[in-house]
Structure 1
Amino acid sequence: MTDHISQAPALDDFETWANFFTSYKAFSHPAELHGGLCGRLAAGGRLKTEEWRSLACEQMGVAPDVAQGSDELATFLDTVYDVTLAAMQSSDLGFRPLLPDDEYTLDQRLQALSAWVRGFLEGMAVMASRELGEATGEVREVVEDMVSISQVAQGEEDSEEGEQQFNEIMEYVRVGALTVFTEFNPPVPPAETTLH
């Protein structure tokens, strides 16, 4: 993948993704695609440019010929890949699942969280189903908890207690994704500095 990070639009912003999905008449949830990519990366997978574009378009429901003819879509997908991998590798632990902000109802955010976790689990299973059986107890526990979270009940009314629970679950998912990433990905060596 080429380096698109410097020219990235706000790719951690759900609204940017939602507008992009709408403009391409995508029928899937943006959070699910982001979760799927994160699951693959966390399990140690790396995708070639064409492989990722094809996978993303398939999940979005965008015809391959539309994707091949759109520089805008190609740039978006390539940038998403690079930015997401960089966020997961970052030592500042600033990685966040792609979810709507609190202007959306709690129910909409729960649906998005559930979609993200489903995508994450699917992506992880595709890349490391055998390795997961040999993973540490901590990782297996995270995976089991995420399975439960992916089936979270919808129809939650906005309330202070609901908000607090949502934020706790979201933080657990965020840290859990990074835990899995740490398990399956060797640390990136720091850039070498030469002394003169």
Structure 2
Amino acid sequence: MNSIAISHAELGMVLHELEFGVAASDLHGSLTGFLCGGGVASPRNWLQRLEIETDQSVETHARMELLDRLFRDCRAQLDDPGFSFEPLLPGDGEPLIERADALVQWCRGFLGGLGLSGANAGSALSDDGAEILRDFGAIAASQFEYDDAEEDESALVEVLEFIRVGVLLLHSELAPLPAKTAEAGRSLH
């Protein structure tokens, strides 16, 4: 990935300006779930694949280029052999409650995107993969309570790492191999 990563705030601002009616974390989660499930899309049609209506009267080239870049960056992170994937969430400087709520939105979006991908997750997953998917559902249905800031911060970091690793495992189990990798594995007779 040669471009500078898109920030949660930057994406949120663009989504607000475009009047998409979806939060930044939810959109990134939806895109990630769709791609993890093997959904087929391109930088130009992924919004339609996620069933997001766009209003061309408020679209600008710069705004749409950011969304194209979001798609390319997400795809590259998921396919990166260095496991660089990170859910797009508010930065560490934002209040804990905002980051935790964004994580819940991200998980909801992920599950929705996975459903839109057409993946048959029930039969295609290992026991670990099925458990991760159930845990994502539990997180998506959560409403957090905040008692101890230090303990809550530590718990959020642990859940975030679980989600990051879980996404990579689900991607490896559900998404088809990239064409060039599949071609490289074939032998010629």
Q: Is the 8 A contact 2:26 2:106 kept in 1?
A: yes
Confirm whether residue 130 of structure 1 aligns to residue 124 of structure 2. Answer: no
| Pair 1:52–1:19, CA change in 2 (3 A) | same
Matched, 1:46 2:46: no
Among 5, 11, 21, which residue is 1:10 paired with?
5
Q: Distance in 2 between matches of 1:158 and 1:118?
A: 25
- Structure 1 gap ranges (5+): none
TM (norm. structure 1) is 0.81
Aligned CA RMSD, in angstroms, stands at 2.4
8 A contact 1:54–1:64 mirrored in 2:
no
| Percent of matched pairs sharing the same residue | 25
Cα shift at 1:77: 1.6
For residues 22-61 of structure 1, the aligned pairs below 5 Å read 22-55=16-49, 58=52
Match for residue 75 of structure 1 among 28, 41, 65: 65
Q: For 1:187 and 1:159, how far apart are their aligned partners in 2?
A: 42
- Aligned counterparts of 1:144 and 1:156: Cα–Cα separation in 2: 23
Partner of 1:111: 101
Q: 1:126 to 1:55 in 2, by over 3 A?
A: closer
Distance, in Å, in 1 between the alignment partners of 2:78 and 2:114 is 14
Cα distance between partner residues in 1 of 2:169 and 2:95: 29
Distance 1:27 1:180 in 2: 27
Distance 1:129 1:105, change over 3 A: same
Cα deviation 1:124-182 (Å, max 9, x = unaligned): 11213534333211111111000001122135256100001011011101111111100
| In structure 2, distance between residues paired with 1:104 and 1:155 | 17
Report if aligned partners of 1:40, 1:124 keep a CA contact under 8 Å in 2.
yes
Pick which of 36-45 and 98-107 moved more. Answer: 98-107
* Residues 72-95 of structure 1, C-alpha deviations (whole Å, 9 max, x = no match): 122112111111100000011111
Distance in 1 of aligned mates of 2:74 and 2:64? 15
**C-alpha distance 56-144 of structure 1, shift in aligned 2 (>3 A):** closer
Shift of 1:40: 0.5
1:119 and 1:145 mapped to 2: Cα distance?
14
> How far apart in 1 are the matches of 2:11 and 2:103?
15
Give 3-state SS (helix, strand or coil) of 1:34's partner: helix
Which residue of 1 is the match for residue 187 of structure 2? none
Going from structure 1 to structure 2, the CA distance change for 1:124 and 1:160 (only over 3 Å counts) comes to: same
Give the length in aligned residue pairs: 181
SS at match of 1:121: helix
